[in-house]
Amino acid sequence: MALRARARVNLAAIERNVVRLRDGLVPGATLCAVVKADASGHGSVHAARAALDGGATSLAVATAGEAAELRAAEIGAPLLVMGALSDEELPIALAAGAELTAWTEQFVLKVGAAAAEPVRIHVKFDTGLGRLGTRSLTEALAVADSVIAAGPTLQLVGAMTHFATADGDPEFMAAQLAAFAPFVEAMRRRAPAIVVHAANSAATVRSPATHFDMVRCGIAIYGCDPMNENPDHYGLEPALELTSYVAALKLAEPGQSAGYGRRFVADRSTWVATLPIGYADGIRRALSDNCDVLVAGRRYPVSGTVSMDNITIDVGPDPPADVRLGAAATIVGRDGDQRQTIEDLANRIGTIAHEVLCGISARVPRSYHRDGTPAP
Per-residue pLDDT in tens (0 to 9) along the chain, 376 residues: 468 999 999 999 999 999 999 999 999 999 999 999 999 999 999 999 999 999 999 999 999 999 999 999 999 999 999 999 999 999 999 999 999 999 999 999 999 999 999 999 999 999 999 999 999 999 999 999 999 999 999 999 999 999 999 999 999 999 999 999 999 999 999 999 999 999 999 999 999 999 999 999 999 999 999 999 999 999 999 999 999 999 999 999 999 999 999 999 999 999 999 999 999 999 999 999 999 999 999 999 999 999 999 999 999 999 999 999 999 999 999 999 999 999 999 999 999 999 999 999 999 999 999 999 999 8
Over residues 167-176, the pLDDT tens digits come to 999 999 999 9
Range of the domain at 77: 10-230
Over residues 242-295, the pLDDT tens digits come to 999 999 999 999 999 999 999 999 999 999 999 999 999 999 999 999 999 999
Tell me, yes or no, whether 358 lies in a domain.
no
Catalytic residue among 36, 124, 245, 300: 36
Tell me, yes or no, whether 194 lies in a domain.
yes
190 and 267 together in one domain: no
**194 CB-near residues (< 8 Å, 6+ apart):** 156, 157, 158, 159, 187, 188
Tell me, yes or no, whether 345 lies in a domain.
no
Query: Three-state SS for 204?
Result: helix
68 and 196 together in one domain: yes
Q: Which of 245, 259, 212 is nearest to 323 (CA)?
A: 245
Residue 323: give its domain's CATH number: 2.40.37.10
278 and 215 together in one domain: no
Catalytic residue among 234, 245, 260, 368: 260
Q: What is the DSSP letter of 302?
A: B
62 and 137 together in one domain: yes
- pLDDT for the residue numbered 3: 84
Catalytic: 36?
Answer: yes
46 and 145 together in one domain: yes
58 and 31 together in one domain: yes
Tell me, yes or no, whether 353 lies in a domain.
no
Please state whether the predicted TM-score (pTM) of the whole model is above 0.85.
yes
**364 CB-near residues (< 8 Å, 6+ apart):** 5, 6, 7, 242, 277, 281, 282
Tell me, yes or no, whether 346 lies in a domain.
no
Residue 123: give its domain's CATH number: 3.20.20.10
Number of structural domains (the chain) is 2
Tell me, yes or no, whether 3 lies in a domain.
no
What is the β-pairing status of strands 298-301 and 58-61? Answer: unpaired
CA distances from 163 to 168, 192, 205 (A): 10, 24, 13
